[in-house]
Amino acid sequence: MKRWFRWLWMLSKRLYKRAAFLAILLLIPLAVLALDAAAQANSGFIHVVLSQTDPADPISSALVERFMSERSLILFSYVDDPRAATDMVITGEADAAWVFPNNMEEKMDRFVTSHYTRGGVVTVVEREQTVFSRIAREKLNFALQHYSAPACYLNFTRDHVEQLDALTDEQLMTYFNDVEFNQELFLFRTPDGNTSVEVDNNYLMAPVRGLLGVLMVLCGLAAALFYLRDEEKGTFALVPLRRRGWVAYACLFIAVLNVSVVTWLALVCGGITTSAWLEIPILLLYAVCCAAFCLLLLRLCGSIRVLASVLPILLTVMIVACPIFFDLHLDLWIKLLFPPTYFVSAPFDGWYLLYMVAYAAVCVGLAFGIRRLTEWWRMQRTRKRKEKG
């Protein structure tokens, strides 16, 4: 046991001597915290400016307050003057302006009683129609439905149910208001039935988990480059050949494990986690998985130059293939080739923890197989040279 800890200490110490490695360990949580701070500021996929013709109108005021206070992917702002709102759209300061009229209740009633022919209650001015502007308009439409529903009920009752003519509007509305539904209509879950997967974070923070996964792979690959250089220098000359493979794996695992500690801190401080304690086994297994993947690449590339050249391609491919920023709907087997896929999916689907173990086993097996093959080929070449010479 003492020997294990001695190895753990020595392999970690050689990393902490590298200023760049220390810098990365410090920068990762700082960068995530900076991004989290930026994500708290107002931002959105589309900027909508709200304005009221009559600021005292209760319905439009309630709508403005609702939109301004909700957390949304739409950035809402407010101006007093409806003309200023339109000007903001023309000049490009805003993408759309929603101008609420005076007497909204009366106008909504008229919209309903005219069987939706006298529309145009709320004025919407847009720069151009995009998918975001359509989604924003749907948000407004559904919000207005909430106010037209009582009018629809009253109008229908008056038009069709003569037997209730004796009741006043207030008495009819009492029946409407007394109906209560105290439950959510929609419950969110993932395909495996996991319902507690909502991570409340901004869209800016959504890819951070995936990027941290990619950074861990990068650090593993950097450790692989360190190992190759140390091997060239003869640092591990005293280690028996049959144990070199495990020493290589240990070097990579220790590096990734160190980074996983700061990754855990970054996830917890940035609020990008379902459970801080659940992240510990995920990160441990991911470190095993990452180190195995980097070991396989180390054996495949074989030299510092090749590995350093392959690095940008690999990192770009991982950012593209894994569901970090974009989902290009690639086949699942392509996504499963790269470790960040497991890291991104593990908190939502427990099976990915087992997949990580299997993935690590396959990578380590392949790495050792490639090493055996390489050694056998070298021995054959040496033997043939000796026979010729």
Q: Among residue numbers 278 through 307, which ones bind another protein (CB under 8 A)?
A: 304-306
Q: Do the bridges between strand 74-78 and strand 46-52 make them parallel or antiparallel, or are there none, so unpaired?
A: parallel
Query: Position of tokens 């990068």?
Result: 218
Q: Please, what is the minimum distance in Å from the beta carbon of residue 198 to another protein?
A: 8
**Cβ contact 172:164 at 8 Å:** yes
Contacts of 65 (CB under 8 A, 6+ apart): none
Contacting residue, 209, 263, 338, 367, with another protein by CB under 8 A:
209
For position 265 contacting another protein by CB under 8 A, the verdict is no
* Segment interacting with another protein (CB under 8 A) among 48-56, 142-150, 278-286, 362-370: 142-150
For residues 265 and 32, what is the distance between their CA atoms, to the nearest angstrom? 10
Contacting residue, 135, 280, 300, 358, with another protein by CB under 8 A:
135
Cα–Cα distances in angstroms (integers) from residue 173 to residues 60, 145, 306, in the given order? 21, 16, 76
For position 338 contacting another protein by CB under 8 A, the verdict is no
* Segment interacting with another protein (CB under 8 A) among 5-13, 237-245, 327-335, 377-385: 327-335
Contacting residue, 5, 92, 237, 333, with another protein by CB under 8 A:
92
Q: Please, what is the minimum distance in Å from the beta carbon of residue 7 to another protein?
A: 21
Q: Judged by CB, which is closer to another protein: 287, or 341?
A: 341
For residues 366 and 360, what is the distance between their CA atoms, to the nearest angstrom? 10
Q: Please, what is the minimum distance in Å from the beta carbon of residue 388 to another protein?
A: 30
For residues 60 and 76, what is the distance between their CA atoms, to the nearest angstrom? 14
Binding residues for another protein restricted to 235-264, rule: CB under 8 A: none
Structure-block tokens of residue 91 = 């000049």
Please state the φ and ψ torsions of residue 122, each to the nearest 5 degrees: -105, 135
- Please report, in angstroms and rounded to a whole number, the separation of the first and last CA atoms in the chain: 48
Binding residues for another protein restricted to 31-60, rule: CB under 8 A: 31, 38-39, 41-45, 47
Contacting residue, 6, 13, 83, 134, with another protein by CB under 8 A:
134
For position 21 contacting another protein by CB under 8 A, the verdict is yes
For residues 89 and 79, what is the distance between their CA atoms, to the nearest angstrom? 12
* Segment interacting with another protein (CB under 8 A) among 210-218, 232-240, 361-369, 370-378: 210-218
The side-by-side arrangement of strands in the sheet containing 46-52 is 74-78, 46-52, 96-100
Q: Please, what is the minimum distance in Å from the beta carbon of residue 99 to another protein?
A: 9
Q: Judged by CB, which is closer to another protein: 103, or 368?
A: 103
The C-alpha R_g of the chain, in whole angstroms, comes to: 31
* Segment interacting with another protein (CB under 8 A) among 5-13, 56-64, 217-225, 365-373: 217-225
Contacts of 315 (CB under 8 A, 6+ apart): 214, 217, 218
Contacting residue, 108, 252, 282, 295, with another protein by CB under 8 A:
108
For position 65 contacting another protein by CB under 8 A, the verdict is no
For residues 260 and 226, what is the distance between their CA atoms, to the nearest angstrom? 18
Q: Please, what is the minimum distance in Å from the beta carbon of residue 45 to another protein?
A: 5
Binding residues for another protein restricted to 148-207, rule: CB under 8 A: 148-150, 152-153, 156-157, 160-161, 163-164, 167, 172, 175-179, 181, 183-191, 194, 197, 203-204, 206-207
Question: Residue 25's CB: how many other CB atoms inside 10 A?
Answer: 18
Q: Judged by CB, which is closer to another protein: 160, or 388?
A: 160
Cα–Cα distances in angstroms (integers) from residue 12 to residues 19, 66, 197, in the given order? 13, 53, 35
